[in-house]
A and B are shown apart, each in its own frame.
Chain A
Amino acid sequence: SQQGEEDPQALSIQEGENATMNCSYKTSINNLQWYRQNSGRGLVHLILIRSNEREKHSGRLRVTLDTSKKSSSLLITASRAADTASYFCATDVAIQGAQKLVFGQGTRLTINP
């Protein structure tokens, strides 16, 4: 399985509800990042959380990191139709002596009006 795996693979909720996506990883990390991708477009960086941080906020986004469980969650509060997109977690891992950013397969989020 992947270094970063998002769960669920797809999520559909009503506008106004909160959306929670989870990411699990295997190896130790320096930081974990969340990105968003609208259909067929490039990824946009949302938030970065360092390994010594447990929680971070940015607007309607709340990210938690549990290094003991090797997991992170992204919470979007008061969802809007415009939040419909795929969300990816990315972990920086050491591969063959170099730090690299490794992406998961993503969670496809659909916000229904």
Chain B
Amino acid sequence: ETGVTQTPRHLVMGMTNKKSLKCEQHLGHNAMYWYKQSAKKPLELMFVYSLEERVENNSVPSRFSPECPNSSHLFLHLHTLQPEDSALYLCASSQDIFRLTSGSTDTQYFGPGTRLTVL
């Protein structure tokens, strides 16, 4: 257990459905991330939140909508997805997004992921 949980673990949805992925971290971290992992592709960073504020959006389509109500919870709202959006969606957290002392990124702790299938 990494201290980061994700629900649901598996999700099948049609292109017209609306669903949400949930991530919760129990580590007292300030930063949370959404990644997309597709077959034979590197992990793609989608969104970064620091202290509940979005600091990064890597040109993700608007059919993905993140929400961070507090530093422990992160949601990814999905609507009108496409079959090519089928992937493993991973949530991660880290103490901070950037360490002023070392000028480097923090270790990230990942949840188990949600396997999403869009029909």
Contact = CB atoms under 8 A, between A and B. Distances in A.
A92 B110 CA distance: 17
Contacts, number: 66
Interface in B9-50: 40-43, 45, 48
Given A100-B45, A104-B42, A40 B103 contact: no
Interface residues of B, number: 28
A98 B55 contact: yes
Contacts of B97: 98-99
Given A41-B113, A92-B104, A99-B105, 16 more contacts: A4-B42, A30-B103, A31-B102, A40-B115, A42-B111, A42-B113, A43-B92, A44-B2, A44-B110, A98-B56, A98-B98, A99-B98, A100-B48, A100-B105, A101-B105, A102-B45
B75 interface: no
B81 interface: no
B74 interface: no
Interface in B90-119: 90, 92, 97-98, 102-105, 107-113, 115
Interface of B: 2, 4, 6, 40-43, 45, 48, 55-56, 88, 90, 92, 97-98, 102-105, 107-113, 115
